A and B are shown apart, each in its own frame.
Chain A
């Protein structure tokens, strides 16, 4: 399994504020990398740099194929039906055959349990349903790498599970994903590798077991403590 995405010495700053400082990261095909870290540490910015939503000041980012992204706030197109949300980019950007794209969209909707919503507008769906549609909208572009940016952070607690189940099933089928999340239990379950970022650089990385059970640095230990309620 070869490297599919490589970041070398990536640095990013907003004016004087350094958000990413010399980040090196490589992701293998089929690998699920979970990025954790405190708010404002640069996790989301890292994803946004990878798919070109933010410019970088230094370093290189290279990858094979396309990169897809799912956002915290779903960002479906409110004036289009669910089906139209899915078919717009494949037809207009990739110039794929409309009937074929439609068929694939319906299959994917069925898979995430939302086939009956195909003609609804986004506003008629719950947050969890919208986020599942957003995942499908990224998938239908056939990205080599899927970036998930805190996709459950805006959801009501009871809807988190339905979205994470979709992501777990994608991991099982060998999708390459980089996931930014605050759901530590989910991170443990899904990650092949966990990367801890603080202050714009990678502080520690390893398997979920390494990171959560045997944190080496004080910064990671302190960060993990904020998630436990033991007396």
Chain B
């Protein structure tokens, strides 16, 4: 292992690391908003929108992110929509993630007993208030493990961004290997940066999970 090379590559990796994190988390934020909206529509079985949501979920869960990115990156300009690789990456990740988040949140919503809605109604609460103040927080607590798994999965999926020439971690590693053939150093650095990116999510996530679940269910 040549530590001189590692030191030399460090700035490039660091830059790629922050770019990956930035686009990754923007994508995850999009997936959350999308996931909650779609889960809401499916939970309340809103006509038409429900069918559209179902189709969206099946389409995006059952196709690889790489192909979704190709469609966004190379397809959209053909119909006159030009977006940058960064926007494309975040959007692609958000759309893919939204389909996963929606299913996770929906299963959480369905797990909240119907009697919770009824006791809200008996207190004169309107459906939207019941959803926001009673159902969603409980659904969220049950969904935390699934949401966490989704977040980790999505952050790892960022590794295909290189295919649309985003200079993320994977792109940087491949690029450097291609140029200088320091394969071992480049791959070790890649692994370490991914761990630095994901380990805190894992650890903080487990703590959040324990806290929310303990508070509500005493487990």
Instruction: Find out whether the CB atom of B121 lies under 8 angstroms from the CB atom of A52.
Output: yes
Contact A78 B138, CB 8 Å, known A71-B119, A121-B215: yes
Say if the beta carbon of A203 comes within 8 Å of chain B.
Answer: no
Instruction: Find out whether the CB atom of A124 lies under 8 angstroms from the CB atom of B218.
Output: yes
Question: Using a CB-CB cutoff of 8 Å, which residues 197-219 of chain B contact chain A?
Answer: 215-218
Say if the beta carbon of A79 comes within 8 Å of chain B.
Answer: yes
Say if the beta carbon of A99 comes within 8 Å of chain B.
Answer: no
The residue that A78 contacts in the complex, of B122, B125, B126, B217, with Cβ under 8 A, is B217
The residue that B124 contacts in the complex, of A71, A76, A78, A93, with Cβ under 8 A, is A93
A137 to B133, CA, bound (A): 16
Instruction: Find out whether the CB atom of A79 lies under 8 angstroms from the CB atom of B137.
Output: yes
Query: How far apart are A99's CB and chain B's nearest CB, in angstroms?
Result: 20
Binary per-residue interface labels of chain A (59-72) against chain B in the complex, 1 for a CB within 8 Å, 0 otherwise: 00000001011010
Question: Using a CB-CB cutoff of 8 Å, which residues 86-106 of chain A contact chain B?
Answer: 88-89, 92-94
Residue of B nearest to A90 (CB): B123
Instruction: Find out whether the CB atom of B124 lies under 8 angstroms from the CB atom of A79.
Output: no
Contact A88 B122, CB 8 Å, known A79-B215, A121-B215: no
Question: Using a CB-CB cutoff of 8 Å, which residues 22-79 of chain A contact chain B?
Answer: 51-53, 66, 68-69, 71, 73, 75-79
A157 to B116, CA, bound (A): 25
The residue that B218 contacts in the complex, of A51, A89, A94, A123, with Cβ under 8 A, is A123
Question: Using a CB-CB cutoff of 8 Å, which residues 30-54 of chain B contact chain A?
Answer: none
The residue that B122 contacts in the complex, of A68, A76, A79, A121, with Cβ under 8 A, is A68
The residue that B134 contacts in the complex, of A66, A77, A123, A138, with Cβ under 8 A, is A77
Question: Using a CB-CB cutoff of 8 Å, which residues 101-141 of chain B contact chain A?
Answer: 113, 115-116, 118-126, 129, 133-134, 137-138, 141
Instruction: Find out whether the CB atom of A79 lies under 8 angstroms from the CB atom of B121.
Output: no
A216 to B14, CA, bound (A): 88
The interface residues of chain B, by DSSP majority, are classed as: helix
Contacts of A88 in B (CB 8 A): 123, 133
Question: Using a CB-CB cutoff of 8 Å, which residues 74-119 of chain B contact chain A?
Answer: 113, 115-116, 118-119
Binary per-residue interface labels of chain A (105-139) against chain B in the complex, 1 for a CB within 8 Å, 0 otherwise: 00000000000000001011000000000000110
Query: How far apart are B126's CB and chain A's nearest CB, in angstroms?
Result: 8
Residue of A nearest to B133 (CB): A88
Contact A123 B217, CB 8 Å, known A77-B134, A92-B129, A93-B124: yes
Instruction: Find out whether the CB atom of B124 lies under 8 angstroms from the CB atom of A89.
Output: yes
Query: How far apart are B87's CB and chain A's nearest CB, in angstroms?
Result: 36
A209 to B115, CA, bound (A): 35
Residue of A nearest to B132 (CB): A92
Contacts of B119 in A (CB 8 A): 69, 71, 75-77
Say if the beta carbon of A4 comes within 8 Å of chain B.
Answer: no
Contacts of B116 in A (CB 8 A): 75, 77
Residue of B nearest to A67 (CB): B122
Say if the beta carbon of A141 comes within 8 Å of chain B.
Answer: yes
Residue of B nearest to A66 (CB): B124
Residue of A nearest to B138 (CB): A79
Residue of B nearest to A81 (CB): B215
A144 to B108, CA, bound (A): 36
Contacts of A71 in B (CB 8 A): 115, 118-119, 122
Which interface residue of A66, A76, A92 has the most chain B CB atoms within 10 A?
A92
A51 to B116, CA, bound (A): 15
Given contacts A53-B118, A53-B121, A88-B133, 19 further A-B contacts (CB under 8 A): A52-B121, A53-B122, A66-B124, A69-B119, A71-B115, A75-B113, A77-B116, A77-B119, A78-B216, A78-B217, A79-B215, A89-B123, A92-B133, A93-B123, A93-B126, A121-B215, A123-B218, A138-B122, A141-B124
**Ordered nearest first, which 9 A-B pairs have the shortest CB separation?**
A89-B123, A75-B119, A69-B122, A123-B218, A93-B124, A75-B115, A79-B137, A78-B216, A79-B216
Instruction: Provide a sorted-by-A list of 8 A–B residue pairs whose CB atoms are within 8 angstroms.
Output: A53-B118, A76-B119, A78-B138, A78-B217, A79-B138, A94-B124, A121-B215, A123-B217
B interface residue numbers (CB < 8 A to A):
113, 115-116, 118-126, 129, 133-134, 137-138, 141, 215-218
